[in-house]
Amino acid sequence: MSGNFTKEQICVVIGASHAGVNFAFSLRKEGWQGEIILFDKDPMLPYHRPPLSKAYLTSEDGIEKNLLKSAESYKNESINLNLGVWVSTINREDKTVVLSDGGVQKYDKLVIATGARPMIPPIPGIDTADHLYPLRTAEDVENIRNAFNASLNKRVVVIGGGYIGLETAASIKKLGGTVTVLEREKRVLERVTTPKMSGFFEQLHAINGVDVLTNKNVVSINTDKGSNTIICEDGDTFEADIIVVGVGVKVNMELAKEAGLNIENGILVDETACTNDKDIYAIGDCTFHHNPHYKRYIRLESVQNAVDQAKVAAAAICEKNPVYDSIPWFWSDQYDVKLQMVGLSEGYNDVLIREEEGENTKFSIWYFKDDILLAVDGINNAKAYVLGTKFIKDGKKIDKSKLTDASVPFKPANLLME
């Protein structure tokens, strides 16, 4: 720890979710002596978001079971957590932030961990629809659960067939509703995966009684006496008591932009998560950052990225010269199926599928650019996921014919080229 840092220094963090909270604890671990002050709009103690659309939606649990850290942990580490308060302006000149309650907080180092918010598409009638919710916060889940319990017909329409939309559909089905997913593209998960994977999930939902309909572009919503009619471009209509909107996010980067920080598809940061102001860092969903492994700038919406960038920023502020060079990973749980992904598949020109012998819900998809492994998606296949992680890291050549031969045991020694 450099002598430059003292007890008098203040590190302010905007946003206390995966990125902000992990950052605060990492900063202490790295030896920061000064104050650490977190602000978040959300009044609840910071919690894990992934379960919101999965197990949490169907459980009776309160959010206490899903906390990122216990209330005592913040006290023990002298992390000053301010909930229900948001930052409305960053003044870089006098190094302060202005708060929603009118307060002003000085900082020496500032970390922006503002994440993203659900996008609400400009569909006529969407503002006046009844029981229409996004799914990003614990409060959203609370609203969905309450509306569901109070609803007689329990007809739920999910707009958007991405991960959050599909997970929500699976969870609500488990609660016993009638669930329809409307996806504008010609297949679900179109932006993020291959036709094989999209097909697998479409079938999985069909088997479980969820109607997943593609090529359904919602153009308006009519609401009358608590009942919504959703109208699609092709003229099809759907009745819904509850509508969940899961069509993607908008990055919370307005604060950064107004403060004159460099912005692209997110807040632009370097390999230490630093912005173009040397005293301001940005981490998590809100950042547009360089991934050295894939040699390009990306924005990621994942716990992995939030946590890893948090560690990097904490180390950088404590002058330890870290570099962000993680290989992205992600998971999704729907029904009893577990998807685990590692790497970034964009730019692939060869896809191989390995099906495990005698099991039709256990397979993996391997994305290559020529001979270079870019990414692996495993369905109920943690082994493929860990092997993929290792192979991508090591960059060794894989014997593609052995990879697709399910009789060859899944071991590094069997799959690498001599």
Partner 1 sequence: MAKITFITTDNKNITVEGTSGSVMQLAVDNSVPGIDGDCGGVCSCATCHVHVAPEHVEKTGTASEIEEDMLDLNDYSNEYSRLCCQLEISDKLDGLVLQVAESD
User: Which residues contact ligand FAD by CB under 6 A?
Assistant: 14-15, 17-20, 39-42, 49-50, 52-53, 86-87, 113-116, 135-136, 164, 252, 255, 284-285, 301-304, 306, 330-332
Contact window for partner 1 (CB under 8 A) among 37-45, 167-175, 276-284, 386-394 = 386-394
- Using the minimum distance from each CB to ligand FAD, give the nearer residue, 133 or 368: 133
Report the distance separating Cα 221 and Cα 240, nearest Å.
10
- The nearest distance, CB 33 to partner 1, in angstroms, is 18
Question: DSSP class of residue 313?
Answer: H
What does 91 bind: ligand FAD, partner 1, none (CB cut-off 5 to 8 Å by kind)?
Answer: none
Residue pair 27/314 in contact (Cβ under 8 Å)? The answer is yes
- Using the minimum distance from each CB to ligand FAD, give the nearer residue, 39 or 133: 39
Tokens of 81: 């957590």
- The nearest distance, CB 45 to partner 1, in angstroms, is 12
- The nearest distance, CB 51 to partner 1, in angstroms, is 6
Burial of 216 (0-12, 13-18, 19+ CB in 10 A): buried
| Contact flag: residue 333 with partner 1 (CB under 8 A) | yes
Report the distance separating Cα 126 and Cα 290, nearest Å.
36
Residue pair 356/318 in contact (Cβ under 8 Å)? The answer is no
Contact letters (x/-) for partner 1, 70-89, by CB under 8 A?
Answer: x-xx--xx------------
- The nearest distance, CB 329 to partner 1, in angstroms, is 8
| Contact flag: residue 409 with partner 1 (CB under 8 A) | no
Helix count (H) and strand count (E) of the chain? 11, 27
The correct pick among 15, 51, 177, 266 for binding partner 1 (CB under 8 A) is 51
Angle (CA) 259 13 255, round 5°: 25
The correct pick among 137, 198, 252, 340 for binding partner 1 (CB under 8 A) is 340
Contact letters (x/-) for partner 1, 90-129, by CB under 8 A?
Answer: ----------------------------------------
Residue pair 48/55 in contact (Cβ under 8 Å)? The answer is no
Tokens of 306: 């939030």
CA separation, residue 48 to residues 9, 53, 54, 159, 390 (Å): 29, 11, 11, 23, 27
- The nearest distance, CB 147 to partner 1, in angstroms, is 25
Amino acid at 315: A
Residue among 210, 227, 59 nearest 141 (CA): 59
Contact window for partner 1 (CB under 8 A) among 254-262, 313-321, 328-336, 344-352 = 328-336
| Contact flag: residue 296 with partner 1 (CB under 8 A) | no
Report the distance separating Cα 162 and Cα 169, nearest Å.
11
The correct pick among 159, 221, 307, 398 for binding partner 1 (CB under 8 A) is 307
Angle (CA) 21 27 29, round 5°: 110
- The nearest distance, CB 24 to partner 1, in angstroms, is 13
| Contact flag: residue 174 with partner 1 (CB under 8 A) | no
CA 387 to chain centre: 23
Other residues' Cβ atoms within 10 Å of the Cβ of residue 164: 27
- Using the minimum distance from each CB to ligand FAD, give the nearer residue, 158 or 403: 158
Give contact residues for partner 1 (rule: CB under 8 A). 29, 48, 50-51, 54-55, 65-67, 69-70, 72-73, 76-77, 303-304, 307, 329, 331, 333, 338, 340, 380-383, 385-387, 389-390, 412
